[in-house]
A and B are shown apart, each in its own frame.
Chain A
Amino acid sequence: MTDHRILIAPALAGLLLGAGMFAQEAKPAQTAKPGKQARAGVPAAKLQAPPQDTRTQAEKQADYKARYADKLKKEFIAFGGWITDYDEARARARAEGKLLFTYFTRSYAP
């Protein structure tokens, strides 16, 4: 168990520092649907519909590839020593008799 802690705790701490935890926590006061008002009489923040994506499939794919490359450059990835290849992760876990601690994230959107 100690091995896991040594490996993971710094990585997780790096993630929390880089993941905008409080930006996500700030949502509760903005949950009313567009056009509706909170019952206390204070207007809720107006939510705008996302603009329509008019890009071609090729343009989207190029964007996804660029975003993925940018994601891999993030400091927290190198900081934590994360393995990003699923086959390699499983092979190493099997060889070393360890569990995988998996962090699922995305690169196609912020």
Chain B
Amino acid sequence: MPFLHITTRIEGHPYDNLLREKGGRGFPTLQFMDADGNTLAVQSERTVAGFERTLAELTRLLDLEKRVAAGEKGLENGLFLARFRLGRISYAEAREQAGRLKDLTAEQKRELAALLLDGEVQEIISGAGRDPEKIAAAGRRLKELLAEGRMPSEKIRPMMWSFLLRYADQEGDADLYARALAWYQEQYGDEPRAESFLKRLQERLKELRAAGS
């Protein structure tokens, strides 16, 4: 059921603070809620694919919760992963609890490692804020992860490359800027609306190359 909430700042407008009440902090925010208005999942990607992925993950979690409530056993690891995937368990909590999980399958181990990496990347970026020194430290850490071949999931990559673009710009790191630009071109190269955006990035890359030569 599609519900559009508009924050108006009109005095007396019903539910004008709903976004804040639901933990949202910016526009746009996309959330799945139950019929009581409880937040079930936050969709971080503003794409149809992101919508479908979040809905599939939420559907899976709701199914697992229903089966566990009905008394079915052996679903603990799957439930943990489903909750972590949807942000119901924080990265810090997951990191702390992960070691206590028993009898993870190989696939579950891979998924847990991938989710923890996503959580680490998000933590690195969110901890950087706007402080150039913190951005530099976070950027260096992300570069290390890339050098180790540790790439977060597609869900996190837009955030990571956006951050690395900013970091590379700040640090004058033309090679990293080019790598970020290549990612943007791969993602949006066929999108006419992205043409001017990509052109600006290409021009900035030339400036960085010229400044570094």
Task: Flag if A41 contacts B3 (CB, 8 Å).
Answer: no
In the complex with contacts A71-B6, A104-B28, A108-B7, A39-B171 CB distance below 8 A: yes
Total residues of chain B contacting the partner, CB 8 A: 61
Q: Is the CB of A40 within 8 A of B1?
A: no
Is the beta-carbon distance between B30 and A102 smaller than 8 angstroms? yes
Asked if B10 and A65 sit within 8 Å, CB to CB, the answer is yes
Q: Which of B10, B200, B207 has the most CB of A within 10 A?
A: B10
Q: Which residues of A contact B166 (CB under 8 A)?
A: 28-29, 31
Inter-subunit contact A86/B18 (CB<8 Å):
yes
Whether A89 pairs with B3 at a CB distance below 8 angstroms is yes
Contact (Cβ within 8 A) A29 B18: no
Assess whether A77 is in contact with B4, with CB atoms less than 8 Å apart. Answer: yes
B197 & A4 in contact (Cβ 8 Å cutoff) = no
Q: Mark B30-56, 1 if CB is under 8 A from A, else 0.
A: 111111110010000011100110011
Residue contacts A-B, CB under 8 angstroms, 6 given: A42-B204, A77-B4, A82-B3, A83-B4, A84-B5, A101-B31
Which A residues lie at the B interface, using CB under 8 A?
1, 4-5, 7-9, 11-13, 15-16, 19, 21-23, 25-26, 28-29, 31-33, 38-42, 60-61, 64-65, 67-68, 71-72, 77, 80-84, 86-87, 89-90, 92-94, 96, 98-108
Across the A-B interface, the 7 shortest Cβ-Cβ residue pairs: A40-B172, A82-B4, A94-B35, A89-B3, A93-B35, A104-B29, A40-B211
Known A-B contacts: A42-B207, A86-B37, A104-B7. Give 7 more (CB < 8 A). A23-B197, A28-B169, A40-B169, A87-B14, A99-B32, A102-B4, A103-B4
Chain B residues engaging chain A, CB cutoff 8 angstroms:
1-11, 13-15, 18-19, 22, 24, 27-37, 40, 46-48, 51-52, 55-56, 58-59, 130, 162, 165-166, 169-172, 184, 188, 191, 193-194, 196-197, 200-201, 204, 207-208, 211-212
